[in-house]
Amino acid sequence: MSTDLLTLLTDQGWALALAKGCALTIAAALGGTALGGVMGFPMAVLRWRAVPVLSQAVAVYSGLVRGVPGLLVIYLIFFGGVQAVETLLHLGGNSAILGFVMAVIAIGLISCAYSVEVFRAALQAIPRGQVEAALAVGMSDLVAFRRIIAPLALRHALGGLNNVWQMTVKDTSLVSVVGLQELMRVAAIAAGVTRSALVFYILAAALYLAITLISQALFLRAEKALNLSFGGRS
C-alpha cells in the first residue's frame, strides 16, 4: 500500500501535480481575498455612512451573495461571465490566465460580500468619542479617516478577515467543478485516472488542512504584532 502510494506520487508525477495544485489554490485564495478586501472596504464605508442608494445597493449585493450557495455564484460567473471578462481585461485569448482570472473574480465576489460585513462591523465598533476627538483637534474629515478611523477599523477587522480568508481558501475548491486545475481538481483527476479516490481525496484534505493551519498561525502572529503597535495588552 505504502509503496503503491509512493509509485503514484513519484513515478507517475502526482506529487508534483498536487504541489502545483496547492500553489494555484493559494494564489487564487490570495487573489480572491485581496480583490474582496479592496472592493469590500469602500463598500463598507458606503454602508457605514449610509450613503443613499449606494448603501442599499451594497446591502442587496452582499445579502444576495451571502444568501445563495457559492457553487451557484461560480456557475453564473463561469457560464455567463467569460465574454465580459475577456472584453474588459483583453487577455488576448490566453485561456490559462483567463481561467485563473475567472476563478479569482468568482471567489473575490463571494469573499467581498463577507468582507463588507466584517469592515462594517469594525467601523461601527469605533467609539464615537474617538472620531469626535479627532475632529475636535481640527483634523479634516479626510485626515481623520486616514489617520484614525481606517487604522482602528482595520485592527478591529483582523479577526473577522481571518475568518473570511479561511472560508475563501475552502471556497477555491468549488472552482474545481468548472475546471481550474487547483488542488481539488488535481485530486479529482488523479482519483479518476489512478482509481484511488480515497487516497487522493485524503491527501487533498491533508493539504487543505496544512494551508489553513499555517495561515491561521500567521494571522495570529499578525494580530499580536498589530496589538503591540497599539500598545495593546494581549
Q: Can you give the binding site for another protein, defined by CB under 8 A?
A: 12-14, 16-17, 64, 66-72, 75-76, 78-83, 86-87, 90, 92-93, 95-96, 98-99, 166, 169-174, 176-179, 181, 184, 186-193, 195-198, 201-202, 204-205, 208-209, 212-213
Name residues whose C-beta falls within 8 Å of residue 176's C-beta, 6 or more positions apart in sequence.
182, 183, 184, 185, 188
Rounded least distance, CB 34 to another protein, Å: 20
| CB closer to another protein, 95 vs 140 | 95
Distance between start and end Cα atoms, the chain: 48
The residue among 39 and 184 lying less far from another protein, judged by its C-beta, is 184
In whole angstroms, the minimum distance from the beta carbon of 84 to another protein comes to 8
Nearest to 89 by CA among 98, 80, 78: 98
Burial of 81 (0-12, 13-18, 19+ CB in 10 A): middle
125 secondary structure, DSSP code = T
Comparison of 206 and 228: residue with beta carbon closer to another protein: 206
Alpha-carbon distance values, 22 to 9, 105, 180 (Å): 15, 19, 12
| Cell matching residue 39 | 472592493
**Smaller CB distance to another protein: residue 79 or 128?**
79
Tell me whether residue 152 or residue 187 sits nearer to another protein (CB atom).
Answer: 187
- By C-beta, is 52 or 93 nearer to another protein? 93
CB distance 190 to 159 below 8 Å: no
| Least Cβ distance, residue 191 to another protein (angstroms) | 6
- Cα–Cα distance measured from residue 211 to residue 173, given in angstroms and rounded to the nearest whole number: 13
Q: How far is the CB of 158 from another protein (least distance, A)?
A: 18
Contact 196, 8 (CB under 8 A): yes
Q: How far is the CB of 55 from another protein (least distance, A)?
A: 20
State the nearest-atom distance from the C-beta of 228 to another protein, in Å.
Answer: 25
